[in-house]
């Protein structure tokens, strides 16, 4: 059933629906990890610290859920299950890890669905539009041939559920601010447990007719190790920022702009220069966890600390 749907979409994409390809590629861009991280950072630094904190907390929950589900189900990508499925163009470059559930869809559910839930001041039309974006990102993943319908539907449902639960959690923390240490401890325990589970569990091994491994489970678990780095960094940076920085987004527009420019420059320097060097020195899961930790720790604590010092002068 799922392969039949993908083959139908593929025939449509290669025929009369070819003019939707660019639109779907742009929609899938909104679910990519680096896109999500950059938008979350800008919201957190420049627009609304409270909204940014909520979205990153929910995103952390979704990364744990996504990482756990991927390596538990170990579902192969559609083109591995059925060679008739041919993903479009460069869509394969961002299709990493196991197939179920869709990480792009869960990222979109976090960013756009979470914003729609949090911002009650938004008009009904705008909030509906944000949910529509989530659906379009999900549709783009099947249209491009890199996910099955169940991958995106479950991804969308889980991500929105996590964001709803996170909304309840942040409301509870607002009334019980001293309980943040409890959230930190539980979050770190879950994160460490996920990392150990990913490192110690066995993965299915299948071979093609030439005796070559079809899917390397160790490589497929890489997305889960990324989650360990990002989530542990968010939790650590979140607590440290509250205790030692306490920056505000109630600032003038020109300062918001300068924060965004310099913050993103630093983020890309860490992501594409420092982390590239570190991966050459530290390979495997340890390198993945460390580099992802640095990305998120920079967003949640290091850059806020730097800008607070700089703006004070």
How far out from the chain centre does Cα 78 lie?
21
How many CA atoms lie within 13 Å of 109's alpha carbon, on the beta-carbon side? 30
Asked whether 52 and 40 are in contact (CB, 8 A), the reply is yes
pTM across the whole model: 0.94
How far out from the chain centre does Cα 57 lie?
11
Helices (H), 2-87: 2-13, 21-29, 33-42, 49-73, 78-81
Element (H or E) spanning 94, and its range?
none
Dist. CA 262–CA 307, nearest whole Å = 9
| The dihedral sign for the CA sequence 98, 186, 288, 201 | negative
Q: What is the pLDDT along the chain (313 residues), one digit of tens a residue?
A: 678 889 999 898 988 888 899 999 999 999 999 999 999 999 999 999 999 999 999 999 999 999 999 999 999 889 888 889 988 877 667 767 789 999 999 999 999 999 999 999 999 999 999 999 999 999 999 999 999 999 999 999 999 999 999 999 999 999 999 999 999 999 999 999 999 999 999 888 877 767 777 777 777 888 899 999 999 999 999 999 999 999 999 999 999 999 999 999 999 999 999 999 998 899 889 999 999 999 999 999 999 999 999 887 7
Closest of 35, 28, 30 to residue 143, by C-alpha: 28
Give 131's strand partners.
Answer: none
Give 207's strand partners.
Answer: 213
Q: Widest CA span of the chain, in angstroms?
A: 67
Dist. CA 288–CA 299, nearest whole Å = 17
Dist. CA 197–CA 210, nearest whole Å = 31
Dist. CA 172–CA 51, nearest whole Å = 15
């Amino acid at each position: 059933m799922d392969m039949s749907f993908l083959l139908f979409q593929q025939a449509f994409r290669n025929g009369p629906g070819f003019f939707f390809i660019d639109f779907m590629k742009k929609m899938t861009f909104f679910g990519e990890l680096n896109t999500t991280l950059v938008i979350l950072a800008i919201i957190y630094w420049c627009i609304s610290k409270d909204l940014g904190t909520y979205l990153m907390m929910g995103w952390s929950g979704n990364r744990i859920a996504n990482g756990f589900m991927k390596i538990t189900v170990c579902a192969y990508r559609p083109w591995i299950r059925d060679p008739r499925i041919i993903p479009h163009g460069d869509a394969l470059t961002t299709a990493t890890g196991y197939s179920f559930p869709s990480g792009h869809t869960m990222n979109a559910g976090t960013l756009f669905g979470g914003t729609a839930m949090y911002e009650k001041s938004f008009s009904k039309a705008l909030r509906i539009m944000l949910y529509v974006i989530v659906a379009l990102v999900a549709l783009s993943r099947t249209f491009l041939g890199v996910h099955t319908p169940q991958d995106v539907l479950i991804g969308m449902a889980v991500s929105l559920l996590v964001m709803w639960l996170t909304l309840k959690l942040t409301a509870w923390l607002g009334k019980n601010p001293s309980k943040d240490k409890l959230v930190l401890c539980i979050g770190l325990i879950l994160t460490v447990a996920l990392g150990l589970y990913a490192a110690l569990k066995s993965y299915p091994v299948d071979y093609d007719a030439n005796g070559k491994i079809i899917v390397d489970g160790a490589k497929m678990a890489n997305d889960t190790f990324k989650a360990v780095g990002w989530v542990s960094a968010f939790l650590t940076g979140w607590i440290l920022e509250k205790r030692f920085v306490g920056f505000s987004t109630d600032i003038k527009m020109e300062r918001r702009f300068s924060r965004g420019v310099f913050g993103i420059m630093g983020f890309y320097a860490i992501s594409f220069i420092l982390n590239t060097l570190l991966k050459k020195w530290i390979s495997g899961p340890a390198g993945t966890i460390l580099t992802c930790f640095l990305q998120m720790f920079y967003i949640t604590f290091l850059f806020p600390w730097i800008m607070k010092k700089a703006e004070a002068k």
